[in-house]
Amino acid sequence: MGKFTDQCVIITGAAGGIGQALSERFAREGASLVLADLNDEGVGKLAVALEHDYAIPVVTSVGDLSTPDGAKQAVEVATSTFGRLDVLVNNAGGGVIRPTLMHTEETLQATIDRNLWSALRCTLAALPVMLAAGYGRMVFIGADSVRNGLEDHAIYNAAKGGVHALVGGLSREFGMKGVTFNVVAPPAVRSPEFERYMREQPELTNRFVSQIPMGRPAELSEVAAAVEFLAGSEAGFINGQVLGVNGGSTLA
C-alpha cells in the first residue's frame, strides 16, 4: 500500500520538468493519476511509462487549463474515471522572465494565463467535488521570488503573488470544510527549463542562484517531497501556508 493508494490526484502541467517529478512521486505512492497539460505527447508518454513502472491507473486530460472548459475537463476526467478527487496539484505555469518594459502584450497575457488563471480555473472546477466529499488537498506551486522580488520577475511575481494570495483567502473561506490549500514556493529548480536558462543566460541565472545561501537550485525531488507532504491526510492542520523550499533564500 502506498500513501495515496485509492486516492485520485490531478497534476497540472504534468508534462513539464517539475510536473513529471511530481507525477512520478505520486505514482510511487500508489495514486490514481490524472495528468493534465497542453502537451498531448508529453503527458501521453509519461502516462504509459508510469503505468508500466508503477502498475497504477493513469489517464490524461489535454487542454488549456487557463480556460473554464480545459479546467472542467480535467476534473471531469478524474471523477468519471475514478469517481473521486482527493488531491489537486496546481503546478501548471512557467515564467516569461524578462525586464518589465521588454514584455509584449503576448508575454504579459501568457504569464498571467499560465500561472494565475490556470490555478484559479482548476481550483474553481475542483472545489465543488472536494466540498461535496468533505475532503481535499490543494497544493499550488508558487515562487520564492514573490518574497524577494528577484530581478526581471515583476510580471511573473504579479501572477504567482496572486496564487499565494488566493491560497490565503481560500483557506479562510473553506476552513471548516475539510479542504486545505497550501503553496510550495521554490526558487530556481534544477529542471530542464532551468538548464535551458543556464545555457542561454548563464550570467543572469547564476545571479539568481547566488541569492540562495546554499548556493544551488532546488532539486526536483526536494520540491516533490514538500508537495507530497502537504497533499497527505496527515497535513490536515496546515492550511493557507506558503512553504519556502528555498535553501534559506527568504526567511518565513
Ligand X SMILES: NC(=O)c1ccc[n+]([C@@H]2O[C@H](COP(=O)([O-])OP(=O)(O)OC[C@H]3O[C@@H](n4cnc5c(N)ncnc54)[C@H](O)[C@@H]3O)[C@@H](O)[C@H]2O)c1
Active site residues per annotation: 156
- The CA distance from 10 to 78, in Å, is 7
Q: Where are the beta strands (DSSP E) in the chain?
A: 8-12, 32-37, 58-62, 87-90, 136-141, 179-185, 242-244
- The CA distance from 156 to 249, in Å, is 18
Residue numbers at the binding site for ligand X (CB under 6 A): 13, 15-19, 37-39, 42, 64-66, 91-95, 113-115, 118, 141, 143, 186, 188-189, 191, 193-194
User: Given the complex with ligand X, which of 81 and 109 has the nearer CB atom?
Assistant: 109
Smallest gap, in angstroms, from Cβ of residue 252 to ligand X?
18
Smallest gap, in angstroms, from Cβ of residue 188 to ligand X?
4
User: Given the complex with ligand X, which of 68 and 236 has the nearer CB atom?
Assistant: 68
- No. of H helices and E strands in the chain? 10, 7
User: Given the complex with ligand X, which of 39 and 133 has the nearer CB atom?
Assistant: 39
- The DSSP element (H or E) to which 161 belongs, if any, is helix 154-173
Smallest gap, in angstroms, from Cβ of residue 176 to ligand X?
29
Which residue number places its CB atom closest to ligand X?
A: 16
